[in-house]
């Protein structure tokens, strides 16, 4: 149901009319059914009509709560499609895009004559709470509007892509999911237009909280995109306290929580699991914001189905837990912080993209000016990486890579506390991996854990070149400072660290 200052719109006019007629007719039918003759006439009280829930409003400072079952894209759904101009973040920076959209719950104003949002009446201070079920299907809606959405072969169509927003608000608002949001990418897999679904979306100064479940399923298509929570505003708080999952056969770009503004908090206290192809950035920040994992991130990269080719560009074949793009326009850098567990896997085959790369944390130098930003990386938890198949992929607990457009630059990294399993770093190349780096070890602490098969006393290299693998082959900068100030300790109280500073080797010895 839509609520405006002048009237209320229901999601399905036909169903509401049928329900109203039934409520009028039911007492009369029951009255005659209960009478054997005129003397036995009994008048039954009419049950009170149940109110339709208001799910979309253009009024500020109101609260909307869903406790029922809402379906977007169902066969009988009467979904309102509207145009919206949005600011989005691309590799080239922020750009404006005009999209065709539908939503389940929202604080939004419409210009009904033009079938678009009315930015002059944008509501603020709206609270949306989902305690029921929101189900989204893409099939029927994509089929209905596909001729209006741009494709790689036809960019003259009016809309850049088609987008469905489960819960959407503007500035200084709150979105809370306490129920279930289930998204099914069940549209034609041969569609080449961008099909985009977002779960919780808020404007500047808003708070997004998932206390329920958010799931993405389906076949998808080559240009499918998904976001669990998303905003491009500043001063945002985005918290996952429960479960978010994605298991999609085809995908271009997938993120569980992404923000594009500054001065925000992005925190995972729950579980986020993703298994899909494409560019997979579980948690991202594009501004000067906190990015913290306190619980579980579990990521698996898989191939596209046979017969379909990924449209992801060469430098974007990435899967990572915490993503940090380094851009010249930014200032101030809170730490990238993992206190929980991050698992990253690449399941490779002969058809896999050799350029695919996977990291627990990833710093992506987008432009040379971004090297002025110093990122402090901290791992107080566990990062596990693994790969399978005939192709070797660049993978590490943390990766620091300059793009070709910034090839003369370097990611400026300050090592904080870093907990990791002692192993032959010089051979595995999977602790830190770099293509363009200036690493500051000063004040850093490498906290070592023994593996189950570790033989006490076995020494491994901890030389700078062993800790940070130079994957650039001499084509990118490789610099470090402060190595003599690095601390190496044992995370296990049953072991002491034996550090040969002359030969740069370390072993763990039983106490």
Which range among 71-80, 430-439, 470-479 shows the weakest confidence by mean pLDDT? 71-80
The neighbouring-strand residues paired with 402 are 365
Cα-only R_g, the chain: 27
Which range among 31-45, 201-215, 231-245, 439-453 shows the weakest confidence by mean pLDDT? 31-45
20, part of any domain: yes
147, part of any domain: no
Average pLDDT over residues 164-169: 98
In this structure, the strands spanning 180-185 and 290-293 are unpaired
User: Are 219 and 247 a contacting pair, CB within 8 Å?
Assistant: no
Angle in degrees, CA 334, 335, 338, rounded to 5: 140
Q: In the chain, what is the greatest distance between 2 CA atoms, to the nearest angstrom?
A: 109
Residues listed for the chain: 511
In this structure, the strands spanning 116-117 and 110-111 are antiparallel
Q: What is the pLDDT of residues 414-429, one digit of tens each?
A: 999 999 999 999 999 9
- Classify residue 494 by its DSSP letter: T
Q: What is the pLDDT of residues 81-107, one digit of tens each?
A: 999 987 776 766 778 889 999 999 999
Spatial separation of the C-alpha atoms in residues 197 and 253, rounded to whole Å: 11
User: Are 148 and 159 a contacting pair, CB within 8 Å?
Assistant: yes
How far apart, in Å, are the Cα atoms of 178 and each of 208, 228, 242, 259, 265? 12, 14, 9, 21, 20
Q: Which domain holds residue 12?
A: 2-36
Query: Which residue is it, tokens 């627990």?
Result: 360
Give one word for 218, left, alpha or beta, with left for phi > 0 and alpha for psi -120 to 50.
Answer: left
Number of domains the chain contains: 1
Average pLDDT over residues 344-356: 98
User: Are 269 and 295 a contacting pair, CB within 8 Å?
Assistant: yes
**pLDDT for 25 beyond 70:** no
Average pLDDT over residues 365-392: 95
**pLDDT for 16 beyond 80:** no
Q: What is the pLDDT of residue 77?
A: 82
pLDDT band per the 50, 70, 90 thresholds, residue 76: confident
User: Are 293 and 268 a contacting pair, CB within 8 Å?
Assistant: yes
Mean pLDDT of the chain: 91
Q: What is the pLDDT of residues 228-242, one digit of tens each?
A: 999 989 999 999 999
**Higher pLDDT pick, 7 / 304:** 304
Please list, in sequence order, all residues whose beta carbon lies within 8 angstroms of the beta carbon of residue 351, skipping any fewer than 6 positions away: 303, 306
Q: What is the pLDDT of residues 93-150, one digit of tens each?
A: 778 889 999 999 999 999 999 999 999 999 999 999 999 999 999 999 999 999 999 9
User: Are 452 and 494 a contacting pair, CB within 8 Å?
Assistant: no
Average pLDDT over residues 351-371: 95
Average pLDDT over residues 396-424: 97
Range among 18-27, 40-49, 246-255 with highest mean pLDDT value: 246-255
**pLDDT for 151 beyond 60:** yes
Q: What is the pLDDT of residue 8?
A: 36
The neighbouring-strand residues paired with 509 are 496
How far apart, in Å, are the Cα atoms of 19 and each of 7, 33, 50, 52, 242? 19, 21, 10, 11, 36
**pLDDT for 26 beyond 60:** no
Q: What is the pLDDT of residue 483?
A: 98
392, part of any domain: no
Spatial separation of the C-alpha atoms in residues 358 and 254, rounded to whole Å: 14
In this structure, the strands spanning 93-107 and 82-90 are antiparallel
425, part of any domain: no
11, part of any domain: yes
User: Are 499 and 457 a contacting pair, CB within 8 Å?
Assistant: no
Token readout for 33 is 């059914």
Nearest CA to 199 out of 254, 139, 267 is that of 254
Number of neighbours of residue 124 by Cβ within 10 angstroms: 16
Token readout for 268 is 């995972």
10, part of any domain: yes
Average pLDDT over residues 485-490: 98
pTM of the predicted model as reported, rounded to 2 decimal places: 0.90
Nearest CA to 228 out of 208, 250, 206, 204 is that of 208
Q: What is the pLDDT of residue 53?
A: 86
14, part of any domain: yes
Spatial separation of the C-alpha atoms in residues 165 and 153, rounded to whole Å: 26
**pLDDT for 36 beyond 50:** no
416, part of any domain: no
Spatial separation of the C-alpha atoms in residues 389 and 23, rounded to whole Å: 63
Spatial separation of the C-alpha atoms in residues 105 and 110, rounded to whole Å: 14
């Amino acid at each position: 149901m839509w609520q405006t200052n002048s009237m209320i719109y229901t999601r399905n006019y036909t169903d509401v009319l049928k329900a109203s007629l039934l409520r009028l007719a039911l007492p009369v039918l029951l009255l005659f059914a209960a009478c054997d003759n005129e003397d036995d006439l009994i008048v039954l009280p009419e049950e009170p009509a149940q109110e339709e829930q208001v799910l979309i409003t253009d009024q500020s400072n109101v609260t909307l709560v869903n406790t029922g079952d809402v379906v977007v894209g169902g066969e009988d759904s009467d979904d309102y499609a509207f145009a919206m101009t949005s600011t989005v973040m691309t590799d080239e920076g922020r750009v404006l895009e005009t999209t065709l959209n539908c939503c389940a719950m929202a604080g939004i104003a419409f210009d009904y004559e033009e079938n678009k949002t009315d930015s002059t009446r944008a509501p603020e201070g709206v609270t949306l709470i989902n305690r029921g079920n929101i189900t989204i299907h893409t099939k029927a809606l994509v089929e209905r509007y596909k001729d209006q959405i741009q494709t790689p072969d036809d960019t003259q169509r009016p809309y850049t892509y088609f987008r469905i927003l489960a819960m959407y608000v503007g500035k200084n608002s709150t979105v809370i999911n306490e129920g279930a949001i289930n998204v099914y990418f069940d549209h034609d897999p041969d569609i080449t237009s961008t099909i985009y679904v977002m779960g919780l979306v808020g404007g500047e100064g808003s708070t997004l909280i998932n206390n329920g479940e958010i799931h993405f399923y389906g076949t998808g298509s080559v240009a499918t995109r998904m976001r669990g929570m998303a905003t491009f505003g500043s001063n945002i708080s985005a918290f996952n306290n429960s479960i978010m999952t994605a298991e999609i056969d085809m995908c271009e770009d997938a993120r569980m929580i992404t923000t594009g503004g500054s001065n925000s908090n992005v925190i995972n206290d729950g579980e986020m699991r993703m298994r899909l192809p494409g560019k997979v950035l579980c948690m991202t920040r594009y501004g000067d914001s906190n990015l913290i994992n306190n619980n579980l991130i579990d990521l698996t990269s898989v191939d596209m189905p046979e017969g379909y080719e990924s449209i992801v560009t060469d430098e974007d074949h990435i899967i990572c837990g915490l993503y940090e793009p380094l851009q010249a326009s930014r200032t101030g850098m809170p730490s990238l912080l993992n206190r929980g567990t991050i698992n990253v896997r690449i399941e490779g085959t002969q058809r896999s993209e050799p350029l695919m790369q996977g990291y627990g944390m990833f710093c992506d130098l987008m432009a040379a000016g971004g090297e002025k930003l110093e990122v402090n990386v901290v791992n107080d938890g566990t990062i596990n990486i693994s790969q399978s198949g005939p192709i070797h992929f660049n993978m590490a607990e943390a990766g620091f890579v300059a793009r070709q457009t910034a090839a003369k630059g370097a990611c400026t990294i300050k090592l904080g506390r870093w907990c990791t399993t002692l192993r032959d770093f010089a051979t595995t190349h999977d602790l830190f991996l770099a293509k363009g780096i200036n690493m500051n070890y000063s004040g850093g602490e490498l906290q070592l854990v023994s593996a189950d098969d570790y033989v006490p006393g076995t020494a491994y290299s901890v030389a700078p070149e062993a800790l940070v693998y130079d994957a650039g082959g001499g084509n990118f900068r490789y610099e470090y400072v402060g190595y003599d100030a690095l601390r190496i300790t044992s995370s296990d109280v049953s072991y002491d660290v034996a550090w040969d500073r002359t030969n740069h080797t370390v072993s763990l010895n039983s106490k």
